[in-house]
Amino acid sequence: MKNIRAIALLAAGGLLLGATTAVYAQEVKDVQKQIDELRSALPKFAIPMREVGDRFQNIYFAAKGGNWALAAYMAKYMNGSMTPASVTKPAEYKVWKSFYDETFAPVNKTIQAKDWKAFDTAYNAVINNCNACHEGMGYGFIKVVKLKAPADSGINYAIKSEPGDVPK
């Protein structure tokens, strides 16, 4: 009799464990589906890169106008706009991160130093690097040029400011 109870309890436990495992497996599938749906809704690379381009152009006019805080702000958020690509296009994001941390670093340094002449040189070098990168990645038809006016005309680029004025 004890053996029959033990077998019945083991069988019930097995059924319960099996049902629990099946429910858990379905929950994992549901969570993965939600993650995949969220990932597909994030911008890939082209959309954030469009914001990068606009901010990059605005940096030039901010620095030229002596609005160093605006230049620093644009540079900071230019980089931040690429964050979705770290999830949606991780290989391309590594290229971006390397570009921002290494190639773009002289621009950031000249903004902090408020050195217009060095900034202009570093900024033009970045344009050349952008175009070389685009070419190397098969996007040679995307050629960055320095605009004659900022991408966003609704900002006063001539307010005198310090790069450290940007809130953390």
- pLDDT tens digit sequence for 79-138: 999 998 988 889 999 999 999 999 999 999 999 999 999 999 999 999 999 999 999 989
Are 131 and 60 in the same domain?
Answer: yes
For residue range 35-50, list pLDDT tens digits in order.
778 777 777 788 999 9
| Residue 116 and residue 159 share a domain | yes
What percent of the chain shows pLDDT beyond 90? Answer: 66
Contact 159, 65 (CB under 8 A): yes
- State the residue range of the domain holding 50: 46-165
Q: Are residues 87 and 35 in the same domain?
A: no
Regarding whether 137 and 79 lie in a shared domain, the answer is yes
Query: Looking at beta carbons, which pairs linking 39-43 to residues 24 or more positions away fall under 8 Å?
Result: 39/87, 39/88, 42/84, 42/87, 42/88, 43/84, 43/85, 43/88
Instruction: Note whether 128 and 65 are same-domain residues.
Output: yes
The residues, ordered by sequence, that sit 6+ positions from 96 with a Cβ below 8 Å of its Cβ are 82, 85
Is 86 in the same domain as 157?
yes
| Whether 51 and 115 share a structural domain | yes
Helix 46-64 to helix 116-136 angle (10° resolution) is 160
Q: Are residues 119 and 82 in the same domain?
A: yes
Task: For residues 36 and 65, state if they share a domain.
Answer: no
Burial of 61 (0-12, 13-18, 19+ CB in 10 A): buried
Same domain, yes or no: 56 and 130: yes
